[in-house]
Structure 1
Amino acid sequence: MRLEDLSAYEILEKRRIEDLNSDSYIVRHKKTGARLALLSNDDDNKVFYIGFRTPPKDSTGVAHIIEHTVLCGSKDFPLKDPFVELVKGSLNTFLNAMTYPDKTVYPVASCNDTDFQNLMHVYLDAVFYPNIYKTDKIFKQEGWHYEMEDESSDLTINGVVYNEMKGAFSTADDVLSREIQNSLYPDITYGIESGGDPDVIPELTYEDYLDFHRKYYHPSNSYIYLYGDMDMAEKLDYMDKEYLSKFDHLEVDSEIKSQEKFSEPKEIHKAYPVLPADSLEKNTYLSYNCSVGSTLEKKIYIALGTLNYALCSAPGAPVKKALIDKGIGQDVYSEYDNGIKQPIFSIVAKNADASQKDEFVKTIREVLEDQVKNGIDRKSLLAGLSYDEFKYREADFGRFPKGLLYGLQVLDSWLYDDMLPWIHIEANDTFAELKKEVDTGYFENIITEYLLDNTHRTVLLLEPEQGLTEKKDEELRKKLKAYRDSLSKEEIEKIVKETKELREYQEEPDDPENLRKIPLLKLEDLKKEAEKFVYEERNENGVKILFHDIFTNGIAYLTFVFDIKNIDASELPYMATLKKLLGMLDTEHYSYRDLYNEINIKTGGISGSISTYTDSADVTKFETTFEISVKVLHENLSDAFRLVKEIITSSNFDDVKRIKEIFDEQYARLQSDLASAGHQTAALRAMSYVSPAASVSDSVSGIGYFRQLEHMISIIGTDEGAAAIVDNLKRLCKSIFRPENLLVDITGTEKEFQGVPKESELFAKALFTDSYDKGQFKMTPVKKNEAFVTAGQVQYVCRAGNYANKGLKYTGALRVLKVMMGYDYLWRNIRVLGGAYGCMSSYAKNGDAAFVTYRDPNLKNSIDVFEKASDYLRNFDADDRVILQYIIGAISDLDTPKTPSGKGSYGLTAYLCRAKMENIQKNRDQLLGTTKETIRGLADYVDAFMEDNCVCVIGTADKIEESKELFGAVEQLVQS
């Protein structure tokens, strides 16, 4: 069957897109007007999504709550959480749903044809025939509800989206992004919080919520995308017969309106919460924000990204440097949001003072005017273009299927013009055009039109307010108390009854017959063989080279791996600092600005990392490395070696002023990152109490490093402190970057390998050979059990330990346990019953293990759930189908398709861990052979790591105070 033979559809455009090696189709469903965009190619990682334009009219979060709830049961799959059942038992490479300011998207991806069809079926059924009309309990669970355990209880509010957004409204960076968009577009959908404002969410009624679904979740308002190696005609025929043809055409007014241009710029002040003890000085965000045209202008779409790099984002960029030199902000950056109809360009100074506002604006405008008058640095423009073009051509999005990222980018134009889905993902010609514009004044004209003469702009000040969280919490308590006091006895009894009924609904198991309606693969559908590592050790002219013979489309992925076993462990925070400084300082032949441009013109980027590798034969041993990674086109291979050599052998560590600027920027970013990714922060810190390897990671990227960075910032202002920091950095370079420590890792074909031996030999000869004092790399974990207070409204709770210390050996069945705990026991008790947004567990091969919650309204309750986990496992009972689901989910996670660079990293990890293929296969066999009895036996692993009783919580002062007996220390996450 050909697409042209499908009478239900009209092909509006068909053509070849060579940039993506794809045949493209723009298609319309005749009866309903449903829009379809298809990219047919040989990629077996197939992608489907259905999306809808969903402009909200208020900040009740209705679009977001519907996104959650349509996945809670439907006509063909009438169980409470088919989404979770899919995650458990699907080979998906992506499965999720996303709410944006003007659209909601439901994407899936899989390499397995049967699985892909199953995923399409479940998602189409979910969006068009959800169970939300049959019971309001789905709305209450995922959205919001009043809660009272009995007539004497306080009245509270709970709900997954409600708690998720309390977390989202707790971090200053999230608040800033939201307020910038609101400031520029106050009269249209972008001036509304589509995710939901926690203060407003409880205003959403069940009927208004249903009306929103009735209006927007219709084929006539849909955007359907297919990508990959599949029979497109078969998929479209299926969609028509099973879903689209069941509907008539509907006129849906979902047009995304445009904001009328401001006649003059506006100044807006907003507050964000800090703790009562936090300083108000140097804690304001200053932002200069411009509405910059239309996302349908394909040259501007990329050009503004290039200006983002050249003007402010790159180290030493003129706007950034001018503001930093004047002491306006610790971290200065720009952001370009082109995922909405009217894109936004913002320049932000973080950790500034409100009193600097006028100087902030004046400085930006003076620098921009100078750039227009004297011309933007040509190399900066070319570097920005080269960097973006390299990323575009490489199309390496890690674990995310490239077809998914293409599909989401398609909506940047398709949502606003039915015939323009491809303009931003078909970009080779656009890059070529823009390179020609570098010397024409084109980029300077953009600055004039959009950043200087544009009256549609705002200056937004996001200012700290001490105790704002506590104030809002108290206001909510009073409001709920007043409401409770206004209720009659019968109304109170009704809330208590509904609370009980919701709990019973949540705890009631699904009908086994309904569970069996979720499509499931067979055990024989699963690949039995473990993925082989690809590597060959070669010794070339005295340099050890690890070669991964993998097709990379002409790109060489290089990693310079340095063993740091002779470095003293106390130096780890300085190593982490060194990693951040390399490439950001002047060198022998380059200023740091020119160096950064040269890197991005000649390569796809240079980055540093500090990694640990556990010995597979003895998990008490591990190796720590300092790594510098480069991706480069083969013809520029010598440039990659030259630039890395330049950076590690001639960086100017005597420039204390520049080092302090980088410290300040790091501090400002970590200040936000540690809190916003609180689950990862808490888990790493908790495991560091018992695990030497986790202690290393915490010392170079977690709270341990943040505390040391605070100390370094406090002493760098003194001559003695600055001298000590500089001496440490110089000494570390001479201790780490030595020929005897070096392994060169290269991923590519034999063609990309050509030149590597000679370049590696020259590189090794340039490294340090001076004598040095060898240290002792020994980490001694110390159990602390800490709580870190933030100004947020939610908790991140972790309980961690190590099972290997109790004599237990890793088994592949632990991967099954991870799926089972994350989508069964923890999911039901932490998310469904507890209202937290997320929950997870981990079980590493070295024995490190943890239970973690994310955006959790609870603390002690979650710890109690963790405590009962092993009892649940010992009494675990399920049929073979349920066990198979968990096995499939675990295999799906294990077999996520790897990019070429990912395959190289897999081989490097195997090499450094001394892994043997027979053991990898054994672990896979254990996974595939998991039984009910196996899972019961894993209770011993949970007991073993729980016995260590390592607890770390990042959360609110009141919840931490209620459970203070759990902690040996309580302190603010960010010290004033």
Structure 2
Amino acid sequence: MRGIEELKQNIKDLEGYEIIEAREVGDLNSQGALLRHKKTGARITVLLNEDDNKVFYIGFRTPPADSTGVAHIVEHTVLCGSRNFPAKDPFIELVKGSLNTFLNAMTYPDKTVYPVASCNDKDFQNLMHIYLDAVFYPNIYKEEKIFRQEGWHYELESAEDELTLNGVVYNEMKGAFSSPDDVLDREVLNSLYPDTPYGTESGGDPDVIPALTYEDFLDFHRKYYHPSNSYIYLYGDMDMEQKLRFIDEEYLSRFEALSIDSQIKLQEAFEAPREIYKEYSIMEDESEKENTYLTYNTVIGDNLDRKLYIAFQVLDYALCSAPGAPLKQALTDKGIGKEIYSTYDNGIMQPFFSVVAKNTDLSRKEEFVRTIEEVLAVQAESGIDKKALAAGLNYFEFKYRESDFGSYPKGLILGLQALDSWLYDEEKPLIHVEANDTFAALKKEIETGYFEGLVKKYLLNNTHKTVVVLSPQKGLTSKKEAALQKELQEYKEALSDQAMERIIEETKALERYQEEPSSKEDLEKIPLLTREDMKKEAEDFVNEERYSDDTLILFHNIFTNGIGYLRFVFDIGNVPEELFPYIGILKQVLGMVDTQNYSYSDLYHETNIKTGGIDMVVNTYSNALNLDDYSIKFEIKAKVLYENLQEAFRLAEEIARHSKFDDTKRLYEIIAEVQSRMQATMTSSGHSLAAIRALSYISGTAAVAEQISGIPQYRLLEKLESQFEEEKTDLIEKLKQLTEYIFRPENLMVDYTATEKEYPGIETMVRAFKKDLYTSPVEKKKFEPRLVRKNEGYLTSSQIQFVCRAGNFIHEGLPYTGALKVLKVMMGYDYLWNRVRVKGGAYGCMCNFGKSGDSYFVSYRDPNLEKTVEVYENAAEYISTFEADERTITQFIIGAVSDLDVPMTPATKGVYSMGGYLTKLSFDRVQQERDELLATTAETIRGLSEYIRAFMKEDCLCVVGNEEKLKENEAMFMNIEPLFH
């Protein structure tokens, strides 16, 4: 890689920029430069390094003045065509046809960011070009229908029909406002900063969104989407000079400098704490008792203090987030909430810390506040547990050094984190992404009273705080819907014939606009790679069978920068039916209860001091050679520096073999907390819930997953929480029995990802680990789920639906083919996208065609139900007559390859390899599927219509959503019941 002096010289040769700072950024193994565009004042940060997963973004400071969601709607609409790329939806054309590793746009409370990433330089250049054109020259000024489609519009097909509201952002935010946890987050933010943009809802309040006019929408773009208000970021292995020259010559230099007031206003501290009372909706048959949220919220300094930025993450861990932490434990011991958690939000100008008690009552508010302040006073005076502080620091430092963000590019996460400071001081983009020195400094502060001082200053002696109470109200959603319908009816009745005719015509015009495809000429302006640009070879597995006596060690020789990724994989195929549902409970309990040598809080700290984390997961693996056969594994996974590998074995053994289940108080705390957390997840991720539930009617692997993490698991948690005194003895016995069934030497396989240098010693460790496992005889009997089509509707207080149809094509004798990956892209971003999202107004739609044959269509935050099902039912017919030119097919193929070739971290490469091994999937088969994908033609796609017919034939339907909507369509279901009892 070129040196920093060369980088500085090359940037100096570019007339458009001045260098504010340029230096080696050792923490990130990069050469960094902070630049300013001379003509416009645009801010640019570059990080040049050897990471081939290149990242670009352009962001704007976009403080909203109200809750119309204008920033959010602009974010959606600028990606709907631009000057050089006038196709109606270039964003979707890119999703379908680029090798991107990330492509999205995000609206935050004070900024809007447009990031892209790709490992292919040609593709990266295309993405960057299209995004810059989109933000600076969008078609929103030429076509008002873009605003109406993505934002909001009146919908009226005829004078006799009911007047309704629709729009993608409108429906997205109806979904967001249906989740009490989302409502709470918003109310906390608004409560602390009422005189600033953070006192509004940048995403848009559905009650307020229809107040946004087209002109106000355009004015927002005119004001903020200008180079003088922009933040541009480039990261990775690229010709940085060429990229900077392109950005200057094609875009920035075409603008004149503007003085733009986008500064975020500082919220003045309150003279005294404030209390805010809000409501959220529950159904009529839900209980209001123990359904309130209580929160205690304090503002923590400003975001430019690099020590404070990390120190309060550590305090969050030590005071409340870690199991047994003093705040969490004191509130739990008093029964103030079934789930206690805390958050520290340092992504805004004035960060804040919150303590939340969920599933409690308003009557406990005074006790809630008093308990928090009493505990904080004791912590400040007597001292915070030093081990907890050390564990918290090690936890966050390990995450920082590992920089493993799963499928998200490392450079993207670093770039977004840079905005945590850059947005508020344009000369400080890197103060939080360079953290080695900060961690070193904070370690020295553990014994100095520094952390205790922070508690006194920001939590105890701070009047800038709020207590927010979020209480349930029965039928609030129904009442609001009825009020909206009445308002719309009255509005309609007040319309003149001419005005009503105009709305009808606008509705039809929007439909025509949505149905009319972009012209071939416009589509071809979007640059596209060729099939030759795509890698032909599939990603091979890195597997090597080694043994410790008769125990398999599956070794993945991969460079991991000194970290060992370790899994203890136990086969659980012989767990009997009466115990099987409790595997989900065991997964949550292990590591969270006392063991022979540790209290549960000490165990958690010890784990985070000695390792990068130990977690429990349960996975199913379908046999690629016999799809009726599958294995179920209980996995203890750990990541650890190689020198601490022995500690990971010791702690895994402690958890698996020496956990104590007889502390009924602790068991109840875990059950109540897991149930509460699962309830929140089910509300926000109804699409996942509906998909796995629908598949469970006909799929053994889905039915197994359902037992452990789906609705049956939630029903078990409901029962255990509400009848704990009657159930606790049986629960303890079942957990003990399960450990004897699972943690046995004959069930064990060890999976290890590291280099050969970090392998020695592991076989001895495995041998010692096995000696302490259970060997007493148990009666082994495989759990066989009973598969029955149920077609269920789950009622919620939500304003929208999640609609799924599922089935299995292999049941009809159709073999899996790699071309189905192309069909997935085509369906998700063409057929379903246009009908369910663009025309239907749903926020999202997905589909999948699994190697086991399990397949589904599902919608996300969908205002419709029967219309969406009709779209699903017409899919096969559409595909059977599908026509497309070579460019279009190539586009879908590129999109499929992009999904397949997500860059893998060492950890994910190891998991990918283990998955291939456990499913008996040969590399030849993986290559064959890739060849089938790359060879896909329009004729191939038409042939896949039979696959859709086959899986739709099984007619498995599951819908999660609005109570009234589901009851109106009761005939579609075999059973309707509340999601939460």
Which of 797, 803, 817 is the matching residue for 2:823?
Answer: 817
Which of 902, 909, 914 is the matching residue for 2:908?
Answer: 902
Give the deviation of 1:570 after TM superposition.
4.1
2:528 and 2:477 map into 1 onto residues whose CA distance is 46
**Cα shift readout 1:245-265 (whole Å, capped 9, x = no counterpart):** 000000000001110110000
1:572 and 1:888 map into 2 onto residues whose CA distance is 42
Q: Does 1:499 align with 2:507?
A: yes
Corresponding residue number in structure 1 for 2:793: 787
Contact 1:318 1:367 in 2 (8 A): yes
**Cα shift readout 1:131-185 (whole Å, capped 9, x = no counterpart):** 0000100000000000000111111000000000000000010000000000000
Amino acid of the structure 2 residue aligned with 1:159 = G
Amino acid of the structure 2 residue aligned with 1:820 = M
**Cα shift readout 1:98-118 (whole Å, capped 9, x = no counterpart):** 000000000000000000000
Q: Does 1:615 align with 2:623?
A: yes
571-580 or 530-539: bigger deviation: 571-580
Q: Does 1:87 align with 2:95?
A: yes
Corresponding residue number in structure 1 for 2:488: 480
Contact 2:389 2:446 in 1 (8 A): yes
Give the deviation of 1:541 after TM superposition.
2.4
Amino acid of the structure 2 residue aligned with 1:788 = Y
Corresponding residue number in structure 2 for 1:963: 969
Give the deviation of 1:716 after TM superposition.
2.3
Q: Does 1:363 align with 2:371?
A: yes
Q: Does 1:589 align with 2:622?
A: no
Contact 1:587 1:651 in 2 (8 A): yes
1:523 and 1:542 map into 2 onto residues whose CA distance is 47
2:159 and 2:200 map into 1 onto residues whose CA distance is 37
Corresponding residue number in structure 2 for 1:3: 11
Corresponding residue number in structure 2 for 1:771: 777
1:832 and 1:419 map into 2 onto residues whose CA distance is 41
Corresponding residue number in structure 1 for 2:682: 674
Give the deviation of 1:780 after TM superposition.
2.0
Which of 913, 921, 938 is the matching residue for 1:915?
Answer: 921
Q: Does 1:559 align with 2:576?
A: no
Q: Does 1:703 align with 2:711?
A: yes
Q: Does 1:571 align with 2:579?
A: yes
Contact 2:570 2:749 in 1 (8 A): yes
Corresponding residue number in structure 2 for 1:428: 436
Amino acid of the structure 1 residue aligned with 2:133 = D
Give the deviation of 1:419 after TM superposition.
0.6
Corresponding residue number in structure 2 for 1:327: 335
Corresponding residue number in structure 1 for 2:766: 760
Among the aligned pairs, what percent are the same residue? 60
Corresponding residue number in structure 2 for 1:848: 854
1:573 and 1:586 map into 2 onto residues whose CA distance is 23
Contact 2:580 2:783 in 1 (8 A): no
Give the deviation of 1:825 after TM superposition.
0.2
**Cα shift readout 1:766-793 (whole Å, capped 9, x = no counterpart):** 1010111112222221211110111110
Q: Secondary structure at the match of 1:336?
A: strand
Q: Secondary structure at the match of 1:910?
A: helix
Q: Secondary structure at the match of 1:571?
A: coil
Amino acid of the structure 2 residue aligned with 1:807 = G
Give the deviation of 1:25 after TM superposition.
0.4
Amino acid of the structure 2 residue aligned with 1:871 = E
Q: Secondary structure at the match of 1:2?
A: helix
2:316 and 2:51 map into 1 onto residues whose CA distance is 32
Corresponding residue number in structure 2 for 1:111: 119
1:391 and 1:560 map into 2 onto residues whose CA distance is 22
Q: Does 1:337 align with 2:345?
A: yes
Give the deviation of 1:966 after TM superposition.
1.1
**Cα shift readout 1:569-626 (whole Å, capped 9, x = no counterpart):** 4423200100100000000100000000000000000111110001011111111100
4+ aligned runs moved over 3 Å, structure 1: none
Which of 253, 260, 265 is the matching residue for 1:252?
Answer: 260
1:537 and 1:209 map into 2 onto residues whose CA distance is 61
Which of 500, 517, 540 is the matching residue for 1:509?
Answer: 517
1:122-141 equivalences in 2 (<5 Å): 122-141=130-149
Corresponding residue number in structure 2 for 1:924: 930
Give the deviation of 1:62 after TM superposition.
0.3
Corresponding residue number in structure 2 for 1:39: 47
Instruction: Show structure 1 runs of 5+ residues with no match.
Output: none
2:973 and 2:160 map into 1 onto residues whose CA distance is 31
Q: Does 1:12 align with 2:31?
A: no
Contact 2:805 2:955 in 1 (8 A): yes
Q: Does 1:735 align with 2:777?
A: no
2:269 and 2:898 map into 1 onto residues whose CA distance is 49
Amino acid of the structure 2 residue aligned with 1:707 = R
Contact 1:654 1:726 in 2 (8 A): yes
Q: Secondary structure at the match of 1:779?
A: coil
Corresponding residue number in structure 2 for 1:887: 893
Corresponding residue number in structure 2 for 1:167: 175
Q: Secondary structure at the match of 2:276?
A: strand
Give the TM-score taking structure 1 as reference length: 0.99
Instruction: Show structure 2 runs of 5+ residues with no match.
Output: 1-8
Corresponding residue number in structure 1 for 2:291: 283
2:510 and 2:854 map into 1 onto residues whose CA distance is 36
2:24 and 2:184 map into 1 onto residues whose CA distance is 42
2:134 and 2:927 map into 1 onto residues whose CA distance is 38
Amino acid of the structure 2 residue aligned with 1:396 = D
Corresponding residue number in structure 2 for 1:839: 845
Corresponding residue number in structure 2 for 1:73: 81
Give the TM-score taking structure 2 as reference length: 0.99
Q: Secondary structure at the match of 2:626?
A: coil
Give the deviation of 1:742 after TM superposition.
0.2
**Cα shift readout 1:324-358 (whole Å, capped 9, x = no counterpart):** 00000000010000000000100000001100000
Give the deviation of 1:835 after TM superposition.
0.3
Corresponding residue number in structure 1 for 2:650: 642
1:963 and 1:677 map into 2 onto residues whose CA distance is 22
Contact 1:674 1:703 in 2 (8 A): no
2:803 and 2:578 map into 1 onto residues whose CA distance is 28
**Cα shift readout 1:380-412 (whole Å, capped 9, x = no counterpart):** 000000000000000000000000000000000
Amino acid of the structure 2 residue aligned with 1:222 = S
CA RMSD of aligned residues (A): 0.7
**Cα shift readout 1:688-729 (whole Å, capped 9, x = no counterpart):** 0110100011111111210111122233212xx211111111
1:120-269 equivalences in 2 (<5 Å): 120-269=128-277
Which of 598, 604, 629 is the matching residue for 2:612?
Answer: 604
Q: Does 1:865 align with 2:868?
A: no
Contact 2:323 2:604 in 1 (8 A): yes
Q: Secondary structure at the match of 1:934?
A: helix
2:846 and 2:484 map into 1 onto residues whose CA distance is 30
1:479 and 1:540 map into 2 onto residues whose CA distance is 73
